[in-house]
Structure 1
């Protein structure tokens, strides 16, 4: 009866301890139980010895047995069982002989074993709750940040916190450069670690024991919904094996990691897709604003340099008469000395015509002369049967990704229409303002330019040229030769005036030249040189008569008067015998 009362009191006090204590760790529980036993059984000392592999395997402590040679009349050992398996004992020491019969301690052993079993269930439940709380916390953090570095850091932190006696390594299929401070390694498919490869391929946990170095390895696949992204390697230095329940939990952690990595990857891919679409949309919107060809090229080159981090970019047209690098392309492609290096690109377009994605040009048969390594070449469909191409390069090998190559193809596809529209628009403008036969400017364009010049400039020289005896040429050689003569004279004019000067077809066999901001004396030198070249270089040989007029701010003459004076000077040149120049302007009217 007394024993039952004592055990009832011990259990009641343990129950009170559970209700009132904020520290229910195994170490606190065992120490409290020792004190209870000392008090209730009137023992001088109570020492607990618990096997580390039992219910306390998750705690970093062990109660060791005190090695003594006690007096058997004052010392008793109380074994503790878990499912009929001895997990330890509690040693009691008394000053006086043992106050209870030894049979009583069998009953105490059973009651204490039941208490330990219930406490063991409590510890396991609490451990599971703690595990899932931690898993919930890191999963929440995964979803809140969506960063690979955060995911890997949190996984390692959790494993080290929950299982500090083991070491870990994450073997991932992709390179993660930003986590060099973590135990992360690339899963090398050429590696001889067969267990890691089996875990990756099969998606199942693999075990490996090394007797020589007393290590146990567990390989747990890191799986997502769409694939396996790596393997978690767990290493035990003392060859201890994790219980199956713990392996099951770590598999949940690995699965959560795999899902988080997968979602992060999909998130990054979606962001990249959105960015790509924004680039294409912005580009398409900007290119639909009727830009000049040079503006289109400059816009596209800047976009490609920024978005693809390229070193050199060019848009090139391969014409029958040569290679035309569009204005706005980067510096390398603007040098004439580099144009011959582009000839193999033309050969490729003629023979294949497919886009090229080259990681290292040094290994390419045709394009090895280009001083780059990475290269993307995208053909463009341009008007008039010409061949166009966009060339994007970098000095480092394998700098561009295949996703960037596909994006560039889409970008060029969407921008080709803008290029073609700009080229056709400018070609149409040239048709409107130029003479079809001579390719000189039209009379209307010349009139407008002179009118604008006389409003904004301070001076200018105007010249009319008339082919002498042009009717005789047509009658003698035919109109085709007559047209050829007009073209020859036009080419001589264009070759001997500056880009700011204007050569135009005035009408019939009459041509005109306007030299803005040029004094009449310099204008006389220019046209005198042209008269000589026409006489010496045309075939059949012809001559021209010219009339020159000049204006300045002080002269106060109108465009109409400027034309009239040049026409009058031309008439005088014809009257004086042709093949010569006459000058007429307000201050002077002499044959020169």
Structure 2
């Protein structure tokens, strides 16, 4: 027979009342407990009174008189279904058990006292009836070993014992009911207290817009409920708090811990473990849950006392309320942060777009990023035109200035391949990607964002700090937003520089355009002491075009330009002056230096160009003693020298002299 506990039986029959009450009588109302005596069980309650019958047996048996002790009496009790509740022996002999069963069946069927005789004794079974409706709810029986003359005496004793059992049963029934009423009253008071606390907490949290204030309020309430408990909040998010009780939840290191399981399952958990000093303790983990997810876990460690389940439910409800308040406060902070970020983005974009000079854009972006994120080091890289090499365009680390790296190197290569930003709390512990920036500066924290414009990766922004876990998730997200604006500003400046380069260069030869050369000579004449100009003209170029075609003519023109570019100095400016005429300005060079360069060009052209061609060169110079200093006068003198070289038979270099020089 399966035995039920008192709590199980109550839980089972609570939905259906286990008693009936007659109509109210004002005269009977003078007795304050008369209603309790009027309660009774019904046949619907029989399956749920096993625990009451067991308790009654335990209290009834010791109070029986010893009148039948000399007859070796053995008592047994069954419920209304004939199932044994208690017998005189733990394991009665099969013959005795069959006798018990037979007597019970007869008593249940006849609903009256029955007696059965066997050699050396007899068995008596009496029904136990409800006190108001007289319905059978149990059977009390007894086996007696003695003479036949004791049968009538034993029958009367069993009937009296059944009445006494009934009295004990209703005493247990009333005690149970009173106990349940007191328990319900206690729960009601506890529920009232809990609602009061919840109401106060909701009132307090409703007006709080600061996350730390929300958490402090909840910490205080939990400490009031469990004064001896050690409470901490393990947060899963990248959240920094001034409260030392707020810590980080390490899921990877302790996936089997109660806190990790409470976080992943989203339900409160409790367990009894050994404390740090070897003493037992009660460990409770309650998740901090909002509408959008689980943010952390309240972890309570306390001595293993009588902690009521209702208190744990209250902590869970407090955590739920705190989760919603935390979420609201966090959203409020994030909205303020977004407003400030939008202002920052607007101001940064406005200032970035004020300049179309690429160097200024890189310099300004580096300075602003260091200031916004409070980083110690910054590095901005850009892919070259071929997309094979990263070049450091701006950095406050001298060792990285103008450095070059392969497109797959370091974090720049990583974010360019994944198109996703990267945040590291500890570079030394990461160890998967090498970085010269981190190694040179001995930094630990890092955030990297790719520079992507119109779907094409063009570089990366790296910010570093020597402290661990310096950058937050908000920093990571903000850099991701700013990188797109910085990338667009860099792309605009690069496009402007390219357009300007195209406007200043001849598309066929790659040399500067004439207007650019004029402007540069004019600026040089304002600040330098002197300079020389060489005009180079391909001899009989029209005949070359007529003989070989214009494509060969263009090829020869490119060959001559290539010779010029590798012959002149880096500071010299070579331009296409018009048609097959080319001009070279030599800043600070006198006429003799210019003559040597012109001759070197003339000789290389004659030796290297295919088909064979020659060039004629005219040279002129200016200095502060010149009668007239201007671009036009300088070109005029060089052009006259070129005309003289052509007139004298071509393939030669002539020097143009001012009228004062000729005299």
Give the Cα separation in 1 of the matches to 2:592 and 2:302. 99
SS at match of 2:510: coil
Partner of 2:122: none
Give the Cα separation in 2 of the matches to 1:181 and 1:381. 43
What displacement does 1:532 show? Answer: 3.5
Q: Deviations over 1:297-343 (max 9, x none)?
A: 4444444555564845334244349647485467666546x334658
More deviation in 324-333 or 460-469? 324-333
Paired residues for 1:47-126 under 5 Å? none
Residues 1:185 and 1:527: Cα distance change in structure 2 (over 3 Å): closer
Partner of 2:357: 292
Which of 263, 288, 312 matches 1:222? Answer: 288
Paired residues for 1:375-390 under 5 Å? 376=448, 378=450, 380-381=452-453, 388-390=458-460
SS at match of 1:466: strand
1:586 aligns with 2:658: yes
Partner of 1:265: 330
Give the Cα separation in 2 of the matches to 1:400 and 1:482. 61
Give the Cα separation in 1 of the matches to 2:422 and 2:524. 52
Residues 1:408 and 1:449: Cα distance change in structure 2 (over 3 Å): same
Residues 1:243 and 1:230: Cα distance change in structure 2 (over 3 Å): same
SS at match of 1:551: strand
Partner of 1:314: 380
Paired residues for 1:61-460 under 5 Å? 135=201, 139=205, 143=208, 146-148=210-212, 150-160=213-223, 163-174=226-237, 178=241, 181-182=244-245, 184=247, 186=249, 188=251, 190-194=254-258, 197-198=261-262, 201-204=265-268, 206=270, 208=272, 213=279, 215-237=281-303, 239-242=304-307, 247=312, 250-251=315-316, 253-289=318-354, 291-304=356-369, 306-307=371-372, 309=375, 311-320=377-386, 323=389, 325=391, 327-328=393-394, 335=402, 338-340=404-406, 342=408, 355-357=419-421, 376=448, 378=450, 380-381=452-453, 388-390=458-460, 392=462, 408=479, 410-460=481-531
SS at match of 2:405: helix
SS at match of 1:339: strand
What stretches of structure 2 of length at least 5 have no aligned partner?
1-185, 440-445
Contact conserved, 1:169 with 1:232, CA < 8 A, in 2?
A: yes
Give the Cα separation in 2 of the matches to 1:452 and 1:297. 27
Give the Cα separation in 2 of the matches to 1:344 and 1:234. 44
SS at match of 2:606: helix
What displacement does 1:143 show? Answer: 1.3
Give the Cα separation in 2 of the matches to 1:167 and 1:417. 52
Q: Deviations over 1:562-587 (max 9, x none)?
A: 22221222222334443332223338
Q: Deviations over 1:353-408 (max 9, x none)?
A: 6514456899999976877696746364579xx97333547598998777766655
Residues 1:220 and 1:550: Cα distance change in structure 2 (over 3 Å): closer
SS at match of 2:533: strand
Give the Cα separation in 2 of the matches to 1:332 and 1:348. 21
Partner of 1:492: 563
How many residues are treated as equivalent by the alignment?
461
Give the Cα separation in 1 of the matches to 2:241 and 2:542. 83
What displacement does 1:528 show? Answer: 3.4
Which of 469, 479, 482 matches 2:553? Answer: 482
Which of 618, 639, 642 matches 1:570? Answer: 642
| Structure exhibiting the larger radius of gyration computed from Cα positions | 2
Q: Deviations over 1:150-207 (max 9, x none)?
A: 5444544554456534443434434666557437563647354448835873534747
What stretches of structure 1 of length at least 5 have no aligned partner?
1-119
TM-score normalized with structure 1 length: 0.62
The two structures, once aligned, show a CA RMSD in angstroms of 4.9
Contact conserved, 2:412 with 2:450, CA < 8 A, in 1?
A: no
Partner of 1:27: none
Give the Cα separation in 2 of the matches to 1:321 and 1:124. 71
Residues 1:202 and 1:469: Cα distance change in structure 2 (over 3 Å): closer
